[in-house]
Chain A
């Protein structure tokens, strides 16, 4: 049955009225947050010592976060008295460079489908600009179907074999995207500077916590994703490589949460912890909500950054990043003239001013060429994407291949009912 728009319309109207009321309150919070971003130590209800703010930010990070929110780390170059709203212009982009990007897509296990398997398709684009312009668009599909491939095996041969669920499939895919990027970087003999981009976040937060065993993190993170980052770093030691992951329209709030802990009027929160002070408050009832509710980092930086400018470099304090070793994640926001994008990079990129400058300049050039989004990432996505029609063709291929071997595909009654759609 189709959606009943007559019943939906009044609800949409109600939502619109509520949003209008919320808008004014949000504007007040945003103004407050912008002032605090300019100097997070100067609060109307009393100044905060720089040392205290740094302790609070640190208390929000691992190993034992005492602050409820994920708060951006403030690496040494950030002087709090100067504010968190410093903007940096990009150096000129070199005319000769290579843009390299990979992305991925998957066909997940369909438990109603004809066979137990999944597929990961990694696509990429390598575009050379300058005297000899050329492009190489590529994709590499990989099918997983053996019992050993459907799990992360328990290294002790025990019972802790971890089936690859949707979350782990996503992590595995990201690791493969990063490995494909490393492969191409290693193979490229060109000497021009490289912008190497991944899509999405470098922070594999979905692996944090106790949901998955150590062996899962070891295989997918240490031996997969981080090992590939190590290979990219090795190339960067002999060639100019600006590596980062690119997030369009980021929804993160880590810098807003710095303002939360700066605004917090409760002395000793850094030792007592949020829960022991405002634990029973809930959203909207805590003082820090006055500078943070419904605000995202991009709301702040779209008022701070002129087109082409980037913010200071902040640090991710996500618990999983503790396991990243030399690849701990730094990030900044960039006004790519159309939206605020987020660039995440390993610490070894962030510490190299020249690499950061190159990353900044080339990302802008890619966005300019791509009408607001990096061309190489767009083409990597196009090379990787598995459409609904591709999925149908894939399962059709599986079926006919099974049938050709005299194997009868087994469908669940649910799958059959979806196919037939009988009345």
Chain B
């Protein structure tokens, strides 16, 4: 399967563990926990959105409030059309697996995502197929809590929607998490609560 989901943005920074992508649409990043894909040659990388931020393109320019005289928030953008050129929304995604030669592998690819490569939202079928195996959760759980736990929980909730038996999927995911966090019952408890019933 190839990148045929909705295009989200472009890789602007990449390392072994993940990549940062600039979103095509200002202020409209994919939801936390979304499974996305990017490429490095014939390798398709799978990654989970674990952070998003909107800020000025030029870090030396401070973003200031502009809406004191505006009736609504849209008015700010109408009066300052240049904002769309001066602000950007970035996402940070943790790489959790890849596809190579038709095989889906839940370990890190040989190389990071290609810089300036495009990032796509994984199609529901891709999500279902990728989350059939839950070894990738180790990469998310290993990340620094608590922000990553929110991304992990969100990822599982979204992935659940792609499975025909959502409840069975979530139960299976809960067991996988219990295995990974056997030494930290408090964190596991909070995480399971976030994943939901």
Using a CB–CB cutoff of 8 Å, the interface residues on chain A facing chain B are 125, 127-129, 133-137, 369, 371, 375, 379, 382
The reply to whether A125 and B82 contact each other, CB–CB distance below 8 Å, is: yes
Pick out which of these stretches binds chain A: B72-80, B95-103, B138-146: B72-80
Interface SS of chain A: strand
Report which residue of A128, A133, A369, A375 has the largest number of chain B beta carbons within 10 angstroms of its beta carbon.
A133
Residues in B whose Cβ lies below 8 Å from that of A375: 80, 82
User: 19 A-B contacts, Cβ less than 8 Å apart?
Assistant: A125-B82, A127-B81, A129-B78, A129-B79, A129-B81, A133-B81, A134-B84, A135-B84, A135-B85, A136-B85, A137-B82, A137-B86, A369-B79, A371-B64, A375-B82, A379-B82, A379-B85, A379-B86, A382-B61
The reply to whether B79 and A127 contact each other, CB–CB distance below 8 Å, is: no
Contacts A133-B81, A135-B81, A135-B84 known; list 18 others, CB within 8 Å. A125-B82, A127-B81, A127-B82, A128-B81, A129-B78, A129-B81, A133-B77, A134-B81, A134-B84, A135-B82, A137-B82, A137-B85, A137-B86, A369-B80, A375-B80, A375-B82, A382-B58, A382-B61
| Chain B 20-67 residues near chain A, CB threshold 8 A | 58, 61, 64
> Complex Cα distance A143/B82, Å?
28
> Complex Cα distance A129/B76, Å?
12
> Complex Cα distance A136/B61, Å?
19
Residues in B whose Cβ lies below 8 Å from that of A129: 78-79, 81
Report which residue of B61, B82, B85 has the largest number of chain A beta carbons within 10 angstroms of its beta carbon.
B82
> Complex Cα distance A239/B34, Å?
50
Taking the nearest CB of chain B, how far is it from the CB of A151, in angstroms? 36
> Complex Cα distance A382/B59, Å?
13
> Complex Cα distance A127/B81, Å?
7
The residue in chain B whose Cβ has the minimal distance to the Cβ of A130 is: B78
The residue in chain A whose Cβ has the minimal distance to the Cβ of B60 is: A387
The residue in chain B whose Cβ has the minimal distance to the Cβ of A378 is: B82
> Complex Cα distance A371/B79, Å?
13
Residues in A whose Cβ lies below 8 Å from that of B58: 382
> Complex Cα distance A137/B83, Å?
11
> Complex Cα distance A134/B26, Å?
14
> Complex Cα distance A379/B84, Å?
12
User: When the two chains form the complex, which single residue of B61, B64, B78, B86 contacts A133, counting CB atoms closer than 8 Å?
Assistant: B78
Contact flags B81-116 to A (C-beta < 8 A → 1, else 0): 110111000000000000000000000000000000
The residue in chain B whose Cβ has the minimal distance to the Cβ of A136 is: B85
Residues in A whose Cβ lies below 8 Å from that of B85: 135-137, 379
Taking the nearest CB of chain A, how far is it from the CB of B169, in angstroms? 44
Taking the nearest CB of chain A, how far is it from the CB of B48, in angstroms? 34
> Complex Cα distance A125/B85, Å?
10
> Complex Cα distance A129/B82, Å?
10
The residue in chain A whose Cβ has the minimal distance to the Cβ of B58 is: A382
> Complex Cα distance A125/B81, Å?
11
The residue in chain A whose Cβ has the minimal distance to the Cβ of B64 is: A371
> Complex Cα distance A99/B85, Å?
15
Taking the nearest CB of chain A, how far is it from the CB of B68, in angstroms? 11
Report which residue of A129, A135, A375 has the largest number of chain B beta carbons within 10 angstroms of its beta carbon.
A135
> Complex Cα distance A134/B79, Å?
10
Residues in B whose Cβ lies below 8 Å from that of A134: 81, 84
> Complex Cα distance A135/B79, Å?
11
Residues in A whose Cβ lies below 8 Å from that of B84: 134-135
Residues in A whose Cβ lies below 8 Å from that of B80: 369, 375
The residue in chain A whose Cβ has the minimal distance to the Cβ of B79 is: A369
> Complex Cα distance A129/B80, Å?
8
Residues in B whose Cβ lies below 8 Å from that of A136: 85
Taking the nearest CB of chain B, how far is it from the CB of A124, in angstroms? 12
Residues in A whose Cβ lies below 8 Å from that of B77: 133
> Complex Cα distance A136/B85, Å?
8
The residue in chain A whose Cβ has the minimal distance to the Cβ of B82 is: A135
Taking the nearest CB of chain B, how far is it from the CB of A318, in angstroms? 34
> Complex Cα distance A39/B2, Å?
81
